[in-house]
């Protein structure tokens, strides 16, 4: 009498994408005593693994990945001659370095860290028309950010003073004759971008509601 074998009772699959047959082939190869036979069997298994994913053959280092996965699925117990450096459990379970959390605390937080980066980039440029254009672009962007928090208006002199302070005196537009973009235009541009998102009209919303009610047979 044949008893049913459930997957929950079978050994754990290390890489389930290859299936249980590949896993059993690798386990069989580990038990082979002859090294030449093991090498031949390992190459055959790698070929079968590659045939399972033919669309990945053009991916760089595809063969290298297959050999690495072969050793991983054998729990690093397969002793064969690999054309690549053999992986080790320490390299597989190596923890990545801890990312440094940005600790920048700008004085004027409503401008954001992007403005600080733009200013640092600008001060490294040589003085000329390009740098002057960038300085005014930064100032206009600062004004737009300021209006996000202050819906009324902001005087250009305030933005110029903040820019002078954030750049440590390297960008000075306080005595400039050119004005920034009008506050109303900046607010209007932001409102126009918001209005681009299509909103259902009352009649359209009513039809959608009626359709949903009909599909649900009046049940909510």
pLDDT at 220: 44
Q: Which two tokens stand for residue 214?
A: 């009909």
pLDDT at 55: 86
pLDDT at 210: 54
Give whole-number Cα distances, 42 to 31, 52, 56, 76, 81, in Å.
12, 16, 20, 13, 9
pTM: 0.45
- pLDDT tens per residue across all 220 residues of the chain: 567 777 778 888 889 999 999 999 999 999 999 999 999 999 999 999 999 988 887 788 899 999 999 999 999 999 999 999 888 888 877 777 888 776 666 678 788 888 888 999 999 998 888 989 999 999 988 888 888 877 667 888 888 899 999 888 898 888 878 888 777 776 666 555 555 555 555 555 555 445 555 555 545 4
**Long-range Cβ contacts of 86-91 (<8 Å, 24+ apart):** none
pLDDT at 197: 53
pLDDT at 41: 95
pLDDT at 96: 78
């Amino acid at each position: 009498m044949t008893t049913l074998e459930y997957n929950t009772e079978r050994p754990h699959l290390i890489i389930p994408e290859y299936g249980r047959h590949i896993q059993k082939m690798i386990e069989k190869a580990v038990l082979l005593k002859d090294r030449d036979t093991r090498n031949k069997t390992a190459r055959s298994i790698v070929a079968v693994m590659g045939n399972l994913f033919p669309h990945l053959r053009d991916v760089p280092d595809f063969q290298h990945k297959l050999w690495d996965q072969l050793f991983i699925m054998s729990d690093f117990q397969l002793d064969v001659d690999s054309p690549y450096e053999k992986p080790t459990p320490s390299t597989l379970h190596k923890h990545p370095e801890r990312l440094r959390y940005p600790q920048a605390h700008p004085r004027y937080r409503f401008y954001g860290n992007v403005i600080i980066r733009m200013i640092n980039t600008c001060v490294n440029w040589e003085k000329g028309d390009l740098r002057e254009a960038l300085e005014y672009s930064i100032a206009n962007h600062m004004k737009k950010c300021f209006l996000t928090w202050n819906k009324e208006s902001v005087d250009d002199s305030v933005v110029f003073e903040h820019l002078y302070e954030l750049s440590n005196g390297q960008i000075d537009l306080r005595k400039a004759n050119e004005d920034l973009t009008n506050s109303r235009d900046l607010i209007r541009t932001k409102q126009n971008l918001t209005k681009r998102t299509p909103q259902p009209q009352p009649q359209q919303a009513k039809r959608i509601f009626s359709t949903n009610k009909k599909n649900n047979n009046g049940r909510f």
